[in-house]
Amino acid sequence: MNLFLVIPVALALAMDAFAVSIGLSVAPKGLNKSQGLRLAIFFGFFQFVMPVIGWLAGRSFLDYMRDVDHWVAFGLLFLIGGKMVADSFRYGESAKKVPGDPTKGATLFLLAVATSIDAFAVGLSFAAIHQKILYPAVIIGIVAFAMTYFGTKLGPTIGKIAGKRAELLGGLILIFIGIKILAEHM
């Protein structure tokens, strides 16, 4: 597949990862360099591997996944965004005690899956048109990595503008992305 055809697809797929990375990095603490890099690596890797998995799953699985993919992505983003919104209303010592590195553990995994489900569908589409997948998947992964890392650098600036409610803004961004995904499939 031509690079000039793959890049727009890769950019479109990376938009959710970009927005999520901004949402996670707007909080006053933001994300440090290693957290930003870890997020970018995971998002880039999942954006690379999900089209490959979709391609391997082939056309027989396409109809089933199309019926639920948007609900899965919406649910994951809504839960994580909802937790961020709820946490934004905690004050004093209780807020300081709330652990939470969204670039580790189950949260990171769930975010990576939620932002790459559409890449799975692209892989299924490529299988349906008998298109090779490795080259496009590599480009998709690289673009997602770059967009995610850029989002983690842009987020703190947006957070400074948002002030104390930056975590609220980040949570609402995640919820909005989930709603957008749901609306696009309805």
| Residue 167's pLDDT band (cuts 50, 70, 90) | low
Above pLDDT 90, what percent of the chain? 26
pLDDT at 52: 94
The alpha helices in 26-165, defined as continuous H runs, are 33-57, 59-88, 92-97, 105-114, 117-128, 134-162
pLDDT at 95: 42
For residues 150-164, average pLDDT: 81
Kindly calculate the radius of gyration of the chain based on its CA atoms and give it in whole angstroms. 17
Residue 180 has pLDDT above 50, yes or no: yes
| Residue 66's pLDDT band (cuts 50, 70, 90) | low
Domain span at 99: 3-184
- pTM given for the model: 0.75
Question: How many whole angstroms separate alpha carbon 101 and alpha carbon 71?
Answer: 25
- If one counts every other C-beta atom within 10 angstroms of the C-beta of residue 111, the result is 26
Structural domain tally of the chain?
A: 1
Above pLDDT 70, what percent of the chain? 82
Question: How confident is the prediction for the chain on average, in pLDDT?
Answer: 81
